[in-house]
Amino acid sequence: MIYRETGQFKANYQDDQALFPIAQDRYVILVILLITFGLVPALLNEYWLNAILLPFLIYSLAALGLNILTGYCGQLSLGTGAFMAVGAFSVYKLMVAFPGIGFIPMVVLSGVITAAVGTIFGLPSLRIKGFYLAVATLAAQFFLIWLFNKVGWFFNYSATGMINAPPMTIFGAIVTGPKADPIAKYYLVAAFVAVFALAAKNIARGRIGRNWMAIRDMDIAAELIGVRPLIAKLSAFAVSSFYVGMAGALYFAVWLGSAEPTEAFDINQSFLVLFMIIIGGLGSVLGSFLGAAFLVIMPIMLKNLMVDGFGTTSALAEHIQIIVVGVLIIGFLIVEPHGLARLWRIAKEKMRLWPFPY
């Protein structure tokens, strides 16, 4: 097989520490980026962009965020939905109050606001671990959603309690609101995801990422070699919430266009994103994407296949889809509890050795 590092000698540590030290990986990433930014918008229609790729990319960003916290730092969180809501409501308030600052800074800023909120709700992690922490973050989920329902200031006292994204433009293209251009929306979200996936990968392989993993793997030893649990855990909560908040902002403003807290950001969102990283692979950037793809794209594909291919009614197809996805999740977790990213790693190992078994 062509995929192997044989013959690719590293003469210095700089090359050895490159993001993708194996040349074939670099080509694959390049091809993926070319397809993402070149081919996809040219070839696919509005339905694909709006209904499949947008949610996939946005959920990838959210999964990336949760993976930083749960996969890299080992802190279980069930508050993802609420943190997405914080991002969504932040970007809404910013869009309404300061329409002049531009949409991209708004999304980043709502990430920053979510990071602050996430850090506060991360404080219990200094005392409690595992399932107990999950319950503490559950409190964040219920409290924040209650807050967004109850306090009129957050939804500008609209009669329905809904928030609607006003139209915003980037370089002349409308990216939010009902008249938004699907290609512009796609480019915007894809750019966000690409940039922050790279940033996540960089953080994960540097000092901060190693400190997170040290806390995850053996917190006492980490503390005794100078990793401060307070800083490591809260920074993981902050960075994770930053990502989740931006995902929430894009989810509301770019994808949904309007949202109501109890429906759009309920606990099912938290579980959905958690399942994504468990199925995709904990502690893996690639896994976040694979998990999001599995839980966003596959159900839609399955449904389309049944409705268009077998002529089942859409109601029946939806029920069958739920059953099949459930079975697939269980099947995958039995076959490979470490997620799709591990399957990919095993496949790569096999490819390296091919045609020899070991």
Residues that bind other proteins (CB under 8 A): 13-14, 17, 19, 199-200, 202-203, 205-211, 213-214, 216-218, 220-228, 235, 239, 283
- Residue 201 CB, nearest approach to other proteins (Å): 9
User: What is d(CA 255, CA 243) in angstroms, rounded to the nearest whole number?
Assistant: 16
Nearer Cβ to other proteins (85/208): 208
User: What is d(CA 288, CA 280) in angstroms, rounded to the nearest whole number?
Assistant: 6
- Give φ, ψ of 214 to 5 degrees: -65, -45
**Cβ atoms of residues 118 and 245 within 8 Å:** yes
Nearer Cβ to other proteins (97/195): 195
- Residue 13 CB, nearest approach to other proteins (Å): 5
- Residue 169 CB, nearest approach to other proteins (Å): 28
- Residue 283 CB, nearest approach to other proteins (Å): 7
- Residue 178 CB, nearest approach to other proteins (Å): 35
Nearer Cβ to other proteins (224/315): 224
Give the chain's largest Cα–Cα span: 68
- Residue 192 CB, nearest approach to other proteins (Å): 14
User: What is d(CA 332, CA 83) in angstroms, rounded to the nearest whole number?
Assistant: 28
Nearer Cβ to other proteins (175/208): 208
User: What is d(CA 40, CA 200) in angstroms, rounded to the nearest whole number?
Assistant: 24
What are the CB-based long-range contacts (under 8 Å, 24+) for 189-195? 189/54, 189/57, 189/58, 189/250, 189/254, 189/255, 190/36, 190/37, 190/53, 190/57, 192/57, 192/61, 192/107, 192/246, 192/250, 193/57, 193/58, 193/60, 193/61, 193/64, 194/33, 194/36
Q: Which two tokens stand for residue 167?
A: 């139209």
- Residue 14 CB, nearest approach to other proteins (Å): 6
Nearer Cβ to other proteins (85/215): 215
Paired sense of beta strands 173-174 and 169-170, if any: antiparallel
Nearer Cβ to other proteins (13/171): 13
Q: Helix, strand, or coil here: 124?
A: helix
User: What is d(CA 325, CA 179) in angstroms, rounded to the nearest whole number?
Assistant: 34
Q: Helix, strand, or coil here: 102?
A: coil
Nearest to 209 by CA among 64, 86, 84: 64
Nearer Cβ to other proteins (17/268): 17
User: What is d(CA 293, CA 316) in angstroms, rounded to the nearest whole number?
Assistant: 23
**Cβ atoms of residues 123 and 239 within 8 Å:** no
Nearer Cβ to other proteins (202/314): 202
Q: Which residues of 56-94 are buried (b: 16+ CB within 10 A; e: fewer)?
A: bbbbbbbbbbbbbbbbbbbbbbbbbbbbbbbbbbbbbbb
Nearer Cβ to other proteins (175/236): 236
- Residue 208 CB, nearest approach to other proteins (Å): 6
- Residue 286 CB, nearest approach to other proteins (Å): 16
